[in-house]
Structure 1
Amino acid sequence: MATWMWIILVLVALAAGLVLGFLGARKYMEKYLKENPPINEEQLKGMMLQMGQKPSKKKLNQMMNSMKRNAK
Structure 2
Amino acid sequence: MDIWERIRHARDKALEAERTERRRLADADTRALQDAASVRLATRQAVREALDDILDETSDPEAS
Q: TM-score, normalised by structure 1?
A: 0.38
Ranked by relative contact order (alpha carbons within 8 Å, sequence separation 6 or more), the top structure is: 2
